[in-house]
Amino acid sequence: MKTGIALSGGGARGFAHFGVLQALDELGIEINAVSGTSAGSIAGAFYTHGYKPTEALELISKTNLFKIIWPAFSLSGLINMSKSEDVFKKFFKEDTFDNAQIPLQIIATNLNEGRKHVFSSGPLVKAMMASSCIPFIFDPVRIGNEAYVDGGIVNNLPSEVLRGTCDVVIGVSVAPVIRENDLDGPKRMIERISMVSVNANVSASKEYCDILIEPTSLRKYTTFDMKKAHEIYKIGYESAHHYFDTHSDEPAVIKLLNKAKSQPSNSAK
């Protein structure tokens, strides 16, 4: 039985992915395939390339990687993402999908064709940059003759790409949308427009998930709450454990936990 996990975009809320992955490791649930969009692509890349969830959390929060990728807003024009490429390559010196210990698929939006693009081979860092390239803030990431931006525009929870190869699909959505009264300033406005647009396609993606972990308490955090990495991680961790504790009678949960009992624990991962 193969298990896949889809990790959504959500900016700083993506730290919750590491909490969820840590909880799954502790439960002994083996992940056989990963897909990710934007922040989810970053978490997925670290996880599939052998970084422990807690290790990745510390590395990213200490180097303030998300702040480099998503810097403060500027009204002077679009920002080039080349600086983030240099930072990524410090962690992925072998810049290729081929080094992934678990198959990884990264979603970006191809602007030229106006549709989603799935990266699963070739250079890794450019694919991560493309998936994380927020429109209206960054210059599109160019790969060959094509221009790419944030995959969340077309698919913020890429669960369907796992459906054909996985028996159980876990979705982790970290970008819940609630009413927002304070929309003053370009930063809040652009973030709000982005969140509303990506939430529309998440609804369809949820239908492909056997298990959906969607921490509602993440609503109080914004895309740019980089300094709250450990708080957000804890929410993801607790939400995953809570889901498995309270849904123990669901068929998908039963399958995963029974499989975990029948094999050596991977909690040391």
Catalytic residues: 38, 150
Amino acid 175 reads A
* Distance from C-alpha of 245 to C-alpha of 242, rounded to nearest angstrom: 5
Please give, one letter per residue, the 3-state secondary structure of 70-85. Answer: CCCCCCCCCECCHHHH
Residues 208, 160: contact at Cβ < 8 Å? yes
Identify the DSSP state of 64.
T
Q: What's the rounded Cα separation, in Å, for the pair 87 and 144?
A: 21
Distance CA 226, CA 130 (A): 20
For residues 45 and 34, is the Cβ–Cβ distance under 8 A? no
